[in-house]
Amino acid sequence: MHRTVPSLPLAPSVKVKLINAGFQVASDLIDMRPLQLCKEVGISQQEAVEVLQMLRDDGQPHQQRAATESLTALDLLHQEQALGSIVTFCSALDDALGGGLPVGKTTEICGAPGVGKTQLCMQLAVDVQIPVCFGGLGGKALYIDTEGSFLVQRVADMAEAAVQHCTLLAEDTEKKIQALEELTVEKILSNIFLVRCHDYVELLAEVYLLPDFLSEHPEVRLVVIDSIAFPFRHDFEDLSQRTRLLNGLAQQLIQLATQHSVAVVLTNQMTTRVSNGQSKLVPALGESWGHAATQRLILHWEGLRRLASLYKSPSQMEATIQYQITVQGFRDAPDEPRPTPATSAVSSPSGNHSKHPRMEDRS
């Protein structure tokens, strides 16, 4: 056994004492008896027993696990492609993201209130369930809601639109028709798990419980936290603690994304920053948070248009695309020539904001 003492899964204080007593490698310890170890090293008898127990327990598997697998870059590429991505039903955005939201990575969606962050998250929770034969992942979703903006009525609308969309896509292939029969609004709703967190402690607790949840539900391919900013933006006198907690969260989420092959989506708010007398809208939670997610998508208004900018991505080019939110959900913008912001200020009659005036009784 060639494992060095520092790499053993023991409490740090015990390790320090072992090293100070001269034990460098695991094989030095194997022949010792508890009382001997206790006297030589200066640890309690209980701790000595535990050390020897641990060494005995994983003597065999250690040697097999000793050399970690090394992967080639080609293997990694195959693995990444096999993971897939979640479509958003907005083809422009899917193209910009290289197919959709990547599984196995964390994506942050920032935007001002009302621009469509929650809509996109709900759309993803529905889209992750599209059957494999239609090009989807056939997975489930976990939605962690901290703001209380997950209104199931809207998700039901999106689910219905998704089923209709798939019905249109289904040709006469038997597999697709069979998959379509199982894809009902109720099935879609039953595959979205919702947890509501009311403050940052509950959110931290939920993230600690995620590994167990994901192991119990291996079909979950999407975890949404909407929003991660809300519980962290007030109540913190100590901003350095906030940064520490956020960094810890980011690390845990990245680990979860890779270990359990899920896409993690976080939504963030915007805040105003004044620099050189000019004010700008920037993502909240500070500068260091900018490094937390693998990809960053910023949703913003430009006059009447809603735009999504891919701001940070290791694999895709920066791009800005237009989208719209319809009754069916998050979709491509219609292909009409849009007036520039200057003229639209003049020519927007009052009635145009109400595209679908809700006169009829919708309840």
Is the bond leading into 227 cis (omega within 30 degrees of zero)?
yes
In this complex, which beta carbon is closest to another protein, that of residue 80 or of residue 160?
A: 160
In this complex, which beta carbon is closest to another protein, that of residue 336 or of residue 361?
A: 361
What are the structure tokens assigned to 96, written together? 């910009």
Q: Which residues of 157-183 are buried (b: 16+ CB within 10 A; e: fewer)?
A: bbbbbbbebbeeebeeeeebeebbeeb
Q: How far apart are CA 200 and CA 242, in angstroms?
A: 10
What are the structure tokens assigned to 176, written together? 């697709």
Compute how many other C-beta atoms are within 10 angstroms of the C-beta atom of residue 331: 20
Q: How far apart are CA 316 and CA 312, in angstroms?
A: 8
Output the smallest distance, CB 116 to another protein, in A.
Answer: 9
In this complex, which beta carbon is closest to another protein, that of residue 173 or of residue 352?
A: 352
Q: How far apart are CA 356 and CA 354, in angstroms?
A: 5
Output the smallest distance, CB 139 to another protein, in A.
Answer: 14
Output the smallest distance, CB 275 to another protein, in A.
Answer: 10
In this complex, which beta carbon is closest to another protein, that of residue 258 or of residue 344?
A: 344
| Residue that the structure tokens 């479509």 belong to | 87
Query: Cβ(270)–Cβ(281) under 8 Å?
Result: yes
In this complex, which beta carbon is closest to another protein, that of residue 301 or of residue 311?
A: 301
In this complex, which beta carbon is closest to another protein, that of residue 97 or of residue 221?
A: 221
What are the structure tokens assigned to 227, written together? 């929003």
Output the smallest distance, CB 279 to another protein, in A.
Answer: 3
Output the smallest distance, CB 190 to another protein, in A.
Answer: 4
In Å, the largest CA–CA distance within the chain is 90
